Amino acid sequence: MKLLEGKVAVVTGGTRGIGFGIVEKFLEHGAKVAVLGSRQETVDAALEKIKKEHADAPVLGLHPTLTDPDEMTAAFNTVVDTFGSLDVLANNAGTDSRTKLVDYTLDEFQKVMRLNVEATFVCSQAAARIMIEQGKGGSIINTSSMVSIYGQPAGCAYPTSKFAVNGMTKSLARELAPHKIRVNAVAPGVIHTDMVDALPKEVIEPLIKAIPLGRMGEPEDIGNAFVFLASDMADYVSGDVLSVDGLSRT
């Protein structure tokens, strides 16, 4: 069953990792998808990978600066001009840091907050303006993390940013409900991507051992949750932070 037939979706950070998993699942479920990346080359590579499997896949690649309101408005207008609508925004781009508090620089703290929080705000605002004008509702899905539930022992900007994402999700859900725009978040656990591959073995191994469902998650596990929240099956679901973490949060 295709759950997203007729819908147009934008996925930020869609070129690799979890974002690419979301893009693949959205396409599998019949959506038209705009893949947003930080550079032309990575966007081109992602589109090439998709087209190799499905030559006629309805995809568009763009690389606007996610924290720039004018660039984001222009990007969403291009999506509407190309595909005729904007129905789903997946705010997925994000960055991590593991620095200890005593060594943190303000620059490093701000870099994490800028992408994880400010970009989520800027993209949601630009998308919501279009969705409100379209008058047919929509779905905004943010990417949180299991560390937004209990914090993490180093790199405090990252959990701070994800707690903020949860707060923005719940607040925008209330603000946008009259427009039938639903706002939810997905809180992944340990998911098998470059971000996790970059962690030292001594950090990652105990994390996997502690997962009650006994394995690391895969990008498609997260993609499935995004499909549900983007679809009309989730028509009565808003303001929720859905954990997809093999029960790691407990």
Residue ranges that bind ligand NAD, judged by CB under 6 A: 13, 15-19, 37-38, 42, 66, 92-95, 115, 143, 145, 188, 190-191, 193-196
> Between residues 67 and 134, which has the closer beta carbon with respect to ligand NAD?
67
> Between residues 111 and 180, which has the closer beta carbon with respect to ligand NAD?
111
Query: In angstroms, what is the minimal distance from the CB of 135 to ligand NAD?
Result: 29
> Between residues 107 and 194, which has the closer beta carbon with respect to ligand NAD?
194
Sheet holding 138-143, edge to edge: 59-62, 32-36, 8-12, 88-91, 138-143, 181-188, 241-244
Query: In angstroms, what is the minimal distance from the CB of 188 to ligand NAD?
Result: 4
8 A C-beta contact, residue 89 and residue 124: yes
Query: In angstroms, what is the minimal distance from the CB of 128 to ligand NAD?
Result: 19
Query: In angstroms, what is the minimal distance from the CB of 174 to ligand NAD?
Result: 23
Query: In angstroms, what is the minimal distance from the CB of 222 to ligand NAD?
Result: 7
Question: How far, CA to CA in Å, does 174 sit from each of 22, 41, 161, 166, 240?
Answer: 25, 38, 20, 13, 11
Indicate the helix (H) or strand (E) that contains 171. Answer: helix 157-176
**Local structure of 10: helix, strand or coil:** strand
Residues 224-235: b if buried by 16+ CB within 10 A, e if exposed: bbbbbbbbeebe
Asked if 104 is an active-site residue, the reply is: no
Contacts with 12 (C-beta within 8 Å, 6 or more apart), sequence order: 19, 36, 66, 89, 90, 91, 92, 93, 119, 123
What is the CB-side half-sphere exposure of residue 15 using CA atoms within 13 A? 17
Q: Which parts of 54-105 fold into alpha helices (H)?
A: 69-83
Q: Which of 104, 150, 158, 236 is catalytic?
A: 158
Q: Determine the Cα–Cα distance for residues 138 and 90; give it in Å rounded to an integer.
A: 11
> Between residues 2 and 51, which has the closer beta carbon with respect to ligand NAD?
51
Residues identified as active-site: 158
